[in-house]
Amino acid sequence: MNISVIVPLYNEEESLPELAAWIKRVMDEHQYTYEVLMVDDGSTDKSWQIVESLHAENENIKGIRFRRNYGKSAALNTGFEACQGDVVITMDADLQDSPDEIPELYRMITEEDYDLVSGWKKVRYDSKLAKNIPSKFFNWTTRKMSGIYLHDFNCGLKAYRKDVVKSIEVYSEMHRYIPVIAKWAGFSKIGEKVVVHQKRKYGVTKFGLDRFVNGYLDLLTIMFMTKFGKKPMHAFGVWGSMAFLVGFVCAIWLLIAKLVHQAHGLPYRQVMDQPLFGIAMLAMVLGFMLFLAGFLGELIARNGSDRNKYLISDMIE
């Protein structure tokens, strides 16, 4: 099968028939073998009934329905597990992503040998204050922290080599950082394509400004897990040791200073009466706690089921 199109959806009953017809027209024009996986993320409208009717008309359209709303990351991850196409395309269900972009995305994966191609909505029709400005700041921060120079990490229109989606796991709100996850999984050839951004035709957006707060927390989680997920002591142990050492040196310095003053008959303050001593004790306690956290993290990591799970790209036997 050439292409799997994964469409996460939540309360998009108006747009689904038009989207399905648009995808079918593009696929038929280019004679692709394909499947469309519509993942209903617990919709409360008639979205699922429409998916059923679309499947009855076109067997290439398939559906997965969640019992409740789990979020876009869960929908994408479930679609990744179920898809069968050599190239996987993800797009939103609100008609703001154009299926006409599929042929070029497919070509970039199959002919230019990209692992992942991310869409870039260079011209947007969203509210500048509510989405454009926060999105630019969000993308700038992600570029600096991840070293992946994409303009639009959060664009729903992306193309993947099948190996990529079968090798990564997306959860929480991590769908914004799939390129980062893919890079740390060893898929480093990541490209970008300018795509058309359509105005929303039906319904309202399902995302609020809280996504930016959650997004930064998820970015910190990914950066830590990818670098230290299998070796937490390398993070907690280093910072814990440094904090403990600073506190210990300060405490010893205060004690030596007191002894020197005593030996020369000079006035002095008790070590425990000095503010620096409190800071030194706090640093030592924090250092010990960080070191202990790293040790516990190592115990958990070493007993995890994937502690020796590594992605293999090729093998000669």
Domains of the chain by residue range = 3-228, 233-302
Q: Cα dist. 292→204, 240, 244, 313 in Å?
A: 48, 8, 12, 36
What is the reported pLDDT for 197? 82
What is the reported pLDDT for 232? 73
Question: What are the pLDDT digits (tens) for 208-252?
Answer: 555 556 666 666 666 666 666 567 777 778 888 899 999 999 999
Distance between CA atoms of 304 and 168, rounded to whole angstroms?
17
- Mean pLDDT, the chain, as a whole number? 85
**What is the mean pLDDT of the segment spanning 71-79?**
93
What is the reported pLDDT for 276? 87
Q: Hunting for tokens 């409740």 — which residue is that?
A: 68
Give the alpha-carbon dihedral of 236, 237, 243, 246, to 10 degrees: -160
Between 197 and 24, the higher pLDDT residue: 24
Multiple choice CATH, 3-228, 3.40.50.300, 3.90.550.10, 3.30.2000.20, 3.40.630.30: 3.90.550.10
Q: Quick one: pLDDT band at residue 311, thresholds 50, 70, 90?
A: low
Q: Are 117 and 191 in contact (CB under 8 A)?
A: yes
What is the reported pLDDT for 79? 95
Q: Which residues, other chains included, contact 198 with Cβ-Cβ below 8 Å and sequence gap of 6+?
A: 95, 96, 97, 98, 125
Residue 304 has pLDDT above 80, yes or no: no
